Amino acid sequence: AITDGDIRRQLLTGISIQGEVANCINRNFVWARAGAPREQILKLLDQRVHVVPILDADGRLVDVFSRDLFNLGEESEVFARARSPVRISFSGGGTDLTHYFVDNDGGSVINATIAMYAHATLRRRADDRIRIYSHDFRCTVEADNLAALGNEGELALIKSVIRLIQPAYGFDLDVSADFPVGSGLGGSAVVSSAIIGCFNEFRSDRWDRHEIAEMAFQAERLMLNIPGGWQDQYATVFGGFNHMEFSSEQNTIVPLRLEPNIVAELEESLVLCYTGANHDSGSIHRGQKDQHETSPAVEAAARQKEVTREIRHHLLRGQLLECGRLIDEAWHAKRHMSSLISSRELDDIYDLAKANGAVGGKLLGAGGGGYFIFFVRPFHRYPLIAALEQKGLSCSRI
């Protein structure tokens, strides 16, 4: 490297003005390698160095950085990632259906999210093309633009969410889940919320949690006309333990602040059991709508709401054994709300669990299949799991 200062210093040593410039070159100059961390170059510039040459691996000049000129680099691809947790419900399922709580003085549920998720990854494109891939269905949908995406056929739920969002750019979207389809864990709402969360990352005016939950509800319940309640959308968006109340005027989400030792004990007292049978929550909810007008169903739903408030009371005080007994009562009440909620095979699984230490339990979601959640005293947990697995059922901890 050579500067005017290098030349002046050589002239002061007696070199002739006609001498070769090569004699003035500084071969021990300050430099940085191409790709060096920005902080390293800034530290050089902070030591009375005004210009830093950037050299490649062969020592050739590829750039020059100064205090005023600093190459910020080209913009890389923009990704957004989001995940939403599934929920387990303790009581009140079915009272969060609009047709129920509008006509029956409100609905009430209590639920919690667990460490099973739907995952979504979004990449913005420079063109208008759309590519959607579902790992769970092993299915890819592609379109030249949003108008050509359509709203029927494969991945209808994901298409519905995207039609609701109306993105003004092309994108690649990958979606996957830690749980099987039809599990009773609120999976549709969880997938929808994860996708909305990805698109929300690209907004300057971001949607809040209530808006995301309402958008997920609209995409599934109204745009696709799939019957169901409200709790799934709020549970996955808000996360944690929540007591929810629904009325025609508003939905109220009240987070429950449980002591860490209560949460730890509850985790040791719950067992997830997959029945191996998927369910169709839409069909079950249609059946519930018809049966909600019968006296047994109305009484069962009213008892569900009472049990929900009682579980909240005991849960906040750490009286978990009483919670387990109430979950058992809530399950027997819920079975009167629709003939599709349980079956002889499912009843046999429940009876087996009760005979091997379960205090209470219930099918998650609308019923008809998916996951059971069982409450068991901690020292009876592994004998219960062993008895269920001996019957070919799959069990896991919360």
Could you report how far apart the first and last alpha carbons of the chain are, in Å?
65
State how beta strands 79-91 and 107-124 pair: antiparallel
Greatest pairwise CA separation for the chain in angstroms: 112
Instruction: Answer yes or no: are the C-beta atoms of 233 and 217 closer than 8 Å.
Output: yes
Q: Is 232 a catalytic residue?
A: yes
String of DSSP letters for 192-214 = HHHHHHHHHTT-SS---HHHHHH
Q: Supply φ then ψ for residue 141, to 5 degrees.
A: -120, 130
User: Residue 234: how many CB atoms within 10 A of its CB?
Assistant: 30
Sequence-ordered strand ranges (E) for the chain: 32-33, 51-55, 61-66, 79-91, 107-124, 130-134, 139-143, 171-177, 241-246, 251-255, 270-274, 358-363, 371-376, 394-397
Q: Supply φ then ψ for residue 375, to 5 degrees.
A: -100, 130
From 68, 172, 205, 232, active-site residue: 232
Which residues carry out catalysis? Answer: 232
